[in-house]
């Protein structure tokens, strides 16, 4: 007899989030961490099916916004990487390729830690006239490589899944418009389809991407209270076009440097947030459209004599549902075992069929979000349609309520310190400045509480009262900022 693996989750999400997360990733077969090189994981079919859905949503939206897909190599020249470093200070832990066979390469190259240094040298060859712009390009279903010290499946890895847009414009205004469009893409995908709530921040100047004039990020909070950045979009100004020589001739036949933006949703972090925010003590919970298996049919058989008609009825039901992703679980395992397994994997709808249902031409439907009812076979399609909407609504409501409770206010530094001890989420506070002169206060905050200034809300900042004082230095406060611990 085959060894039965332990299926269920043995800890409560509220009591031990870290262990809960590890068990869900492993037991729902999302990723296998036994690959053998630290920080490199195998995305297993069930998990990868969900990740592909995230990619599909993003591809659909950026193409709707006139982006064209391209595909660059996974490597980058040393000289281009250096150029980026000199200019933007970007200095990740780089993996170098320096040998081929037993011969040392004359010019080593790197596994790409990000896209700019490999894409922008090519952009300097592609555009000649202002009429060539705007240009909007993207690549999807690719990786970048950084030798991170601590790694955790989907949260931080040495190879992580990537998606990036790189847009080129004639004017700064077009760049700023694009930032708003990127925000809209986040709304339509991460918020509306994947159901992850977030706040969209303009990062403080000391925490922006170094090659950017400004950085903007949708951030959420995981159940352990840490802020996680779901994506970032950068107003690159003309910094990179100057560093990499990307110029076009304007209407007056003068050469001008172009304006650029880039946008990168963190595919793995979106995945980590989906697992963590929607899941419960039984395992995953997935929006209906994202589920690799949307409906599971489980026969409940009490005796040999019931066997045949019940199984036949199950097959009839399966045939009716051919427009959905359906699994008819006809395995030897007990019904209880099957319930646990498919709940763990977040299958949105479970159909239970026993002798009584078979005789009465009825079906018992159980939703992963808890509802249960008995329906007639004739109304099956209508009920599935209704249930799929109900599940999504339940997930969305629950996530929004969760997130609503993740923001508190603090009026004094003592109050802030008290709250931060036990509270998991954002704290809104008045702050002196999000430009360079506020960095001292941010550093003090970080040292004393381990929390960061996430930024100010964008595009509409919170209103601040005239007499407000910075929570750290007590000088006049210019902004309301959101403070949180972060990954």
Residue 473 is a binding residue for Zn ion (CB under 5 A):
yes
Of 5-13, 293-301, 303-311, 471-479: span binding Zn ion (CB under 5 A) = 471-479
Site string for Zn ion, 405-434 (x = CB under 5 A): ---------------------------x--
Q: Which of residues 173-212 bind Zn ion (CB under 5 A)?
A: none
CB of 446 to Zn ion, least distance (A): 13
Phi, psi of 401, rounded to the nearest 5 degrees: -65, -45
CB of 455 to Zn ion, least distance (A): 15
Considering beta carbons, is residue 285 or 441 the nearer one to Zn ion? 441
CB of 441 to Zn ion, least distance (A): 3
Q: Which of residues 209-268 bind Zn ion (CB under 5 A)?
A: none
Considering beta carbons, is residue 30 or 472 the nearer one to Zn ion? 472
- Rounded distance, CA 324 to CA 346, Å? 15
Considering beta carbons, is residue 122 or 473 the nearer one to Zn ion? 473
CB of 473 to Zn ion, least distance (A): 3
- Rounded distance, CA 319 to CA 149, Å? 50
Contact 169, 258 (CB under 8 A): yes
CB of 470 to Zn ion, least distance (A): 3
- Rounded distance, CA 313 to CA 299, Å? 9
CB of 448 to Zn ion, least distance (A): 13
CB of 462 to Zn ion, least distance (A): 17
- Rounded distance, CA 97 to CA 440, Å? 40
Contact 50, 274 (CB under 8 A): yes
Q: Where are the beta strands (DSSP E) in 133-191?
A: 135-145, 159-169
CB of 437 to Zn ion, least distance (A): 8
Q: Which of residues 302-341 bind Zn ion (CB under 5 A)?
A: none
- Per-residue buried b or exposed e for 223-232, using 16+ beta carbons within 10 Å of the residue's own CB: bebbbbbbbb
Contact 65, 181 (CB under 8 A): yes
Considering beta carbons, is residue 386 or 436 the nearer one to Zn ion? 436
Considering beta carbons, is residue 110 or 477 the nearer one to Zn ion? 477
CB of 471 to Zn ion, least distance (A): 7
Kind of pairing between the strands at 326-328 and 295-299: parallel
Considering beta carbons, is residue 251 or 437 the nearer one to Zn ion? 437
Secondary structure (3-state) at 441: helix
- Rounded distance, CA 245 to CA 257, Å? 7
CB of 48 to Zn ion, least distance (A): 46
Which of 25, 472, 480, 483 touches Zn ion (CB under 5 A)? 472
Considering beta carbons, is residue 33 or 473 the nearer one to Zn ion? 473
- Rounded distance, CA 483 to CA 420, Å? 9
Of 98-106, 241-249, 258-266, 472-480: span binding Zn ion (CB under 5 A) = 472-480
Residue 470 is a binding residue for Zn ion (CB under 5 A):
yes
- Rounded distance, CA 189 to CA 267, Å? 12
Considering beta carbons, is residue 418 or 443 the nearer one to Zn ion? 443
Of 39-47, 74-82, 404-412, 470-478: span binding Zn ion (CB under 5 A) = 470-478
Kind of pairing between the strands at 259-265 and 231-237: antiparallel
CB of 58 to Zn ion, least distance (A): 38
Considering beta carbons, is residue 141 or 475 the nearer one to Zn ion? 475
Q: How many CB atoms lie within 10 A of CB 364?
A: 17
Residue 480 is a binding residue for Zn ion (CB under 5 A):
no
Structure tokens at 15: 């009591």
Secondary structure (3-state) at 112: coil
Give the side-chain half-sphere CA count within 13 A for 68.
Answer: 5
Considering beta carbons, is residue 156 or 428 the nearer one to Zn ion? 428
Q: Which of 357, 373, 377 is nearest to 365 (CA)?
A: 373
Considering beta carbons, is residue 132 or 439 the nearer one to Zn ion? 439
Of 97-105, 114-122, 293-301, 467-475: span binding Zn ion (CB under 5 A) = 467-475
Of 76-84, 318-326, 380-388, 435-443: span binding Zn ion (CB under 5 A) = 435-443
Total binding residues toward Zn ion, as defined by CB under 5 A? 5
Q: How far is CA 110 from the centre of its chain?
A: 26
Residue 441 is a binding residue for Zn ion (CB under 5 A):
yes
Radius of gyration of the chain (CA): 26
Residue 442 is a binding residue for Zn ion (CB under 5 A):
no
Considering beta carbons, is residue 273 or 433 the nearer one to Zn ion? 433
Contact 444, 241 (CB under 8 A): no
Q: Which of residues 30-49 bind Zn ion (CB under 5 A)?
A: none
Residue 483 is a binding residue for Zn ion (CB under 5 A):
no
Of 5-13, 14-22, 220-228, 441-449: span binding Zn ion (CB under 5 A) = 441-449
Q: Please provide the DSSP assignment of 388-426 as one string.
A: HHHHHHHHHHHHHHHHHTTEEE-SSHHHHHHHHHH--SE
Contact 363, 303 (CB under 8 A): no
Considering beta carbons, is residue 202 or 478 the nearer one to Zn ion? 478
Q: What angle do CA 208, 167, 454 make, to 5 degrees?
A: 20
User: Interface residues with Zn ion (CB under 5 A)?
Assistant: 432, 441, 470, 472-473
């Amino acid at each position: 007899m085959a060894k039965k693996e332990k299926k269920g989750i043995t800890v409560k999400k509220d009591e031990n989030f870290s262990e809960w997360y590890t068990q869900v990733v492993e037991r729902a077969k999302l990723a296998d961490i036994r690959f053998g090189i630290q920080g490199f994981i195998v995305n297993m079919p069930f998990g990868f099916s969900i990740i592909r859905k995230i990619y599909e949503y993003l591809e659909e939206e950026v193409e709707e916004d006139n982006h064209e897909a391209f595909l660059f190599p996974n490597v980058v020249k040393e000289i281009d990487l250096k150029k980026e470093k000199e200019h933007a200070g970007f200095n990740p832990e780089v993996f170098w390729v320096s040998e081929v066979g037993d011969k040392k390469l004359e010019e080593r190259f790197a596994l790409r830690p990000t896209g700019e240094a490999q894409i922008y040298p090519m952009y300097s060859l592609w555009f000649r006239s202002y009429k060539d712009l705007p240009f909007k390009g993207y690549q999807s279903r690719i990786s970048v490589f950084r030798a991170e010290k601590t790694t955790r499946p989907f949260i931080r890895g040495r190879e992580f899944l990537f998606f990036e847009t790189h847009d080129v414009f004639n004017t700064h205004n077009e760049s700023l418009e694009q930032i708003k469009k990127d925000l809209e893409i986040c709304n339509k995908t991460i918020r509306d389809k994947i159901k992850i709530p977030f706040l969209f921040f303009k990062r403080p100047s000391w925490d922006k991407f170094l090659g950017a004039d400004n950085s903007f990020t949708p951030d959420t909070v995981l159940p352990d209270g840490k802020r996680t950045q779901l994506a970032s979009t950068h107003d690159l100004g003309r910094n990179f076009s100057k560093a990499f020589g990307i110029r076009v001739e304007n209407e007056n036949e003068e050469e001008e440097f172009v304006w650029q933006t880039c946008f990168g949703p963190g595919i793995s972090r979106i995945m980590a947030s989906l697992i963590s925010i929607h899941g419960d003590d039984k395992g995953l919970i997935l929006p209906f459209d994202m589920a690799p298996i949307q409906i599971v049919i489980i026969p409940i058989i009490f005796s040999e004599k019931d066997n045949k008609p019940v199984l036949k009825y199950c097959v009839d039901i399966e045939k009716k549902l051919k427009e959905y992703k359906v699994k008819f679980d006809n395995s030897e395992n007990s019904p209880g075992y099957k319930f646990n397994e498919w709940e763990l994997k977040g299958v949105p709808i479970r159909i239970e069929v026993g002798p009584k249902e078979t005789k009465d031409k009825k079906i018992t439907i159980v939703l992963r979000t808890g509802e249960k009812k008995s329906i007639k076979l004739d109304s099956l399609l209508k009920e599935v349609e209704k249930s799929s909407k109900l599940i999504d609504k339940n997930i969305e409501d629950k996530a929004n309520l969760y997130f609503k409770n993740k923001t508190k206010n603090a009026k004094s530094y003592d109050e802030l310190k008290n709250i931060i001890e036990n509270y998991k989420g954002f704290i809104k506070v008045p702050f002196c400045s999000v430009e360079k002169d506020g960095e001292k206060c941010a550093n003090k905050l970080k040292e004393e509480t381990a929390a960061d200034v996430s930024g100010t809300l964008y595009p509409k900042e919170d209103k601040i009262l005239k007499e407000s004082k910075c929570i750290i230095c007590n000088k006049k406060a210019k902004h309301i900022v959101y403070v949180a611990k972060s990954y």
